[in-house]
Amino acid sequence: MNLRMALFQMDIVFGEPEANKKSIEQYFKKIDSTVDIVVLPELWTTGYDLDRLDDIADEGAKDSIGFLKQLAKYYHVNIVGGSVAKQTSKGVSNTMLVINRKGELISTYDKAHLFRLMNEEAFLIPGNDTGLFSIEDQPSAGVICYDIRFPEWIQTHMTSGAAMLFVVAQWPLARIDHWKALLIARAIENQCYVIACNRVGEDPNNTFGGHSMIINPWGEVIRQAGTEEEIVCDSINLSDVNTIRKTIPIFDDRRPDIY
């Protein structure tokens, strides 16, 4: 099965959800009907304006969900909706939203690993569920930024059959070499496609590194952006996953009895 991806490598206006929604609308106007899945970056509504989350976080993510549902139906496209700051009774979570072509919410995932270097643990609550979902009837998984530093977490999803790993991020330029190396490693060790969307631009504390990537199950980068705003498009062939997993059957050869 072939699927065409469009990754919105965008700048994000610090703490301005309405301005960022307008940017997203403009990005959607640039894609064509061949696109099957759109991917947005992490915290695209607010950026890392963590100090003001009590004021600007989306209650139950209802506004963000409604916004993405409308876009999915209008453009007849699946959306891996990056993540948003979701206000809940227990606090604010960093939540990925996945919407299908019909405008139905098919998955949510709360970021499991909070990044202390950006003070996430002081403002956000961690999630406890996996990021597994099915899109276009294909088993998939979604994780958020810092999650990719935990290979055992990623493999939890892959041993459940996921063939695509969607990564959304606000990864700083200072550690962009880590971003690239970790994503390639996750593709190789899990024999899956990695579709990774990072933001660009700056906020008061960070410069972000872009380099959104689409990586095949051999770990080959088939598309990579630079550090400017752009839409990263390419197609993937999911039959490659089964072929490679049969060629080197790492999941059959695992030894969970000793590790």
Please, what is the angle between helix 176-190 and helix 151-158, to 10°? 40
Question: Is 152 one of the annotated active-site residues of the chain?
Answer: no
Which of 111, 120, 192, 197 is labelled catalytic?
Answer: 111
111 is catalytic: yes
Under 8 Å CB-to-CB from 30, ≥6 apart: which residues?
231
CB-CB contact of 144 with 83 (8 Å): yes
Annotation says 42 is catalytic: yes
Dihedral angle over CA of 235, 239, 241, 242, nearest 10: 180
CA nearest to 80, candidates 32, 23, 174, 143: 143
- Taking the C-alpha atoms of residue 137 and residue 78, their distance in angstroms, rounded to an integer, is 12
CA 220 to chain centre: 19
Q: Are strands 193-198 and 164-169 parallel, antiparallel or unpaired?
A: parallel
The number of beta carbons lying within 10 Å of the beta carbon of residue 227 is 16
Q: Name the active-site residue from 145, 180, 192, 197.
A: 145
Just list the catalytic residues: 42, 111, 145
